Structure 1
Amino acid sequence: MDQESKMETVTTLKAAYIPPRSQGVRLRGIRGELLEKHIAQMISEKVHAERNPPTPKTDFCSTTQRDFCVEGFVPLTPDKTQVHDYKTDQAVTFWSENCQLIQGVTAIQTLKAPFRKSALFSTPISERLDELELPSDN
């Protein structure tokens, strides 16, 4: 036995097998092949359309354009009933509207500013000069 010999690269099956050769005659008609290709293309397009739906067209219309720039819209500015100053006017809140119902609040002197600083707790009754009547003790 020769230890340095190389292995055969061709098996007996490969050496004996001969691939079949076409007979040179068309086995299928041209029309059948074209019909098969057309049906395969239609099915692939249908599957592609189902899996990849077209993106909807983006509407770049803002709320102002859609609601206020409509034909026939007339903007109406209401007339002012009184002059308001945001720096000095008291804010209207839930608590300022319901200040009479709050428990534990000192006597409200003016309804326009119910939560202003009050010194009634620390001022002795004898020094209350601005009040005409003394508060009742009931």
Structure 2
Amino acid sequence: MATINQGRNEIRVNNSNSKCLLENWVEERNVSHIDPQKLSESDKSLAQILKNGHKGILTTEFDGSTANMTTIRDAFRPPDSLPCDKFKGRKGQLEEMMMFQEALRQVKEEEAKETELSEAEKKELRMSITKSDFHMEPFESKFPTPTAAHHLKEQPATFWTEHRDKIHGKSQDKNFDSCFRKNTSFSKPISERFDDPKPYEQDNWPKM
């Protein structure tokens, strides 16, 4: 046998001021007797009052400020027994103060000297070592005289130039100067093959 009314309440109970759907906002029906019947100047509408909740449930001090203490701040307070500001010893504090005073004295002496110098001396004082040594007008940059013959077009002799015939998997050599220039005759386009040497001839490479 099917459940009668399928669990729905057929007794129509009005919700908050009979403005809500049926069987919704049960809490509003339970406190309808303490809802304000007239709106004050600060209240905009009854919906706003019902949204914010009733006053005086948590506290009656409406003008009081919220506490700044949270659960984390209350649980993890810094210990009062440990000297948090005295991790350095007395000797270390005195040495640090002495070095600070010495650095301050040196800075004041340099500032006093700069005020007595002329503009040219101030400019020279602020000039870096690189600028003073390598960017002056009399200085001229020149390459040193070579001590040996410098052949730019000469191919250096390396391990691979001496053993290029023994490299496994290397294609046919097309020149005598470069050991890694492969033979790409099988994939070279026809438009780029004009005036090229024959497959059995050597290339004129590098063209220096």
Q: What is the TM-score of this pair, normalised by structure 2?
A: 0.21
Q: What is the TM-score of this pair, normalised by structure 1?
A: 0.29
| Greater relative CO, 1 or 2 (CA 8 Å, sep 6+) | 1
